[in-house]
Amino acid sequence: MSFFIRGKNKVNVNNKRTKNKTFEHNKKKKKIEETKDEEITSSEDEGITLETEKQFSDSEDENETAQDKKLRLAKIYLQELERLEKEKLCNEDEVDKSLISKRLKDDYLKETGKFKSFIADQYSDDKLEGFDVIKCREQTGTVTCICVSSDNKYLFSGSKDGIIVKWNIETKRKEGVLPFVKHQTPENVTGHNSKIMSIAISTDDLYLAIGEESSNIQIWNPSTLKHIKTFKGHSKSITGVGFKKNSHILYSCSADRSVKVWNLGEMMYVETLFGHQDNITSLDALYKDRVITSGSRDGTLRIWKITEESQLVYNGHSGSIDIVKLINEECFISGGEDGQICLWSCMKKKPVFVIKDAHGIDPTNGQANWICSIATLTNTDLFATGSCNGFVKLWKLGENFRSAQFLFEIPVVGFINSLVFTLDGTKLIASCGRDHRLGRWRTIKEVKNNIKIFSLKRK
Q: Is residue 175 part of a domain?
A: yes
Q: What is the mean pLDDT of residues 184-202?
A: 91
The answer for residues whose C-beta is within 8 angstroms of residue 423's C-beta and 6 or more apart is 148, 150, 152
pLDDT of residue 104 exceeding 90: no
Residue whose C-alpha is closest to residue 80's, from 43, 44, 53: 53
3-state SS class at 50: helix
Angle between helix axes 97-112 and 66-88 (nearest 10 degrees) is: 120
Instruction: Out of 61, 85, 112, pick the residue that ends a domain.
Output: 112
pLDDT the model gives residue 92: 53
The size of the chain, in residues, is 459
d(CA 360, CA 339): 8
Task: Check whether residue 350 and residue 264 sit in a common domain.
Answer: yes
Q: Does 337 or 459 have the greater pLDDT score?
A: 337
Task: Check whether residue 83 and residue 131 sit in a common domain.
Answer: no
At 198, the pLDDT band (50, 70, 90 cuts) reads very high
At 99, the pLDDT band (50, 70, 90 cuts) reads low
Range of the domain at 441: 120-455
Q: Is residue 361 part of a domain?
A: yes
Task: Check whether residue 81 and residue 140 sit in a common domain.
Answer: no
Q: What is the mean pLDDT of residues 409-423?
A: 96
Task: Check whether residue 168 and residue 184 sit in a common domain.
Answer: yes
Q: Is residue 17 part of a domain?
A: no
Q: Is residue 328 part of a domain?
A: yes
Q: Does 74 or 57 have the greater pLDDT score?
A: 74
3-state SS class at 299: coil
Number of domains in the chain: 2
CA angle in degrees (0–180, nearest 5) for 361-365-368: 30
Region of poorest pLDDT, from 177-181, 184-188, 337-341 = 184-188
pLDDT the model gives residue 67: 75
Region of poorest pLDDT, from 59-63, 106-110, 357-361, 386-390 = 59-63
Angle between helix axes 50-58 and 66-88 (nearest 10 degrees) is: 140
Q: Is residue 30 part of a domain?
A: no
DSSP class of residue 115 equals -
pLDDT the model gives residue 317: 93
Instruction: Out of 93, 112, 131, pick the residue that ends a domain.
Output: 112
pLDDT of residue 82 exceeding 70: no
pTM of the predicted model, to two decimals? 0.79
Q: Which residues pair with 406 in a beta bridge?
A: 395
Task: Check whether residue 229 and residue 307 sit in a common domain.
Answer: yes
d(CA 376, CA 121): 15
Instruction: Out of 112, 132, 158, pick the residue that ends a domain.
Output: 112
Task: Check whether residue 191 and residue 267 sit in a common domain.
Answer: yes
Task: Check whether residue 106 and residue 132 sit in a common domain.
Answer: no
Task: Check whether residue 83 and residue 198 sit in a common domain.
Answer: no
At 350, the pLDDT band (50, 70, 90 cuts) reads very high
pLDDT the model gives residue 113: 65
Task: Check whether residue 189 and residue 59 sit in a common domain.
Answer: no
Q: Is residue 318 part of a domain?
A: yes
Task: Check whether residue 249 and residue 131 sit in a common domain.
Answer: yes
Task: Check whether residue 308 and residue 445 sit in a common domain.
Answer: yes
pLDDT the model gives residue 85: 61
The answer for residues whose C-beta is within 8 angstroms of residue 353's C-beta and 6 or more apart is 342, 343, 398, 402, 403, 404
Q: Is residue 4 part of a domain?
A: no
d(CA 218, CA 448): 28
**Long-range residue pairs from 188-192, CB within 8 A, at least 24 positions apart, any chain:** 189/218, 189/227, 189/230, 190/227, 191/162, 191/164, 192/162, 192/163, 192/164, 192/218
Task: Check whether residue 107 and residue 203 sit in a common domain.
Answer: no
Residue whose C-alpha is closest to residue 385's, from 413, 415, 419, 352: 419
At 95, the pLDDT band (50, 70, 90 cuts) reads low
Q: Give the CATH number, domain containing residue 382.
A: 2.130.10.10
Q: Is residue 18 part of a domain?
A: no
pLDDT the model gives residue 30: 41
Share of the chain above pLDDT 90, in %: 66
The answer for residues whose C-beta is within 8 angstroms of residue 210's C-beta and 6 or more apart is 158, 164, 192, 196, 198, 199, 217, 218, 219, 220, 241
Q: What is the pLDDT of residues 355-383, one digit of tens each?
A: 999 999 999 899 999 999 999 999 999 99
Q: What is the mean pLDDT of residues 302-311?
A: 96
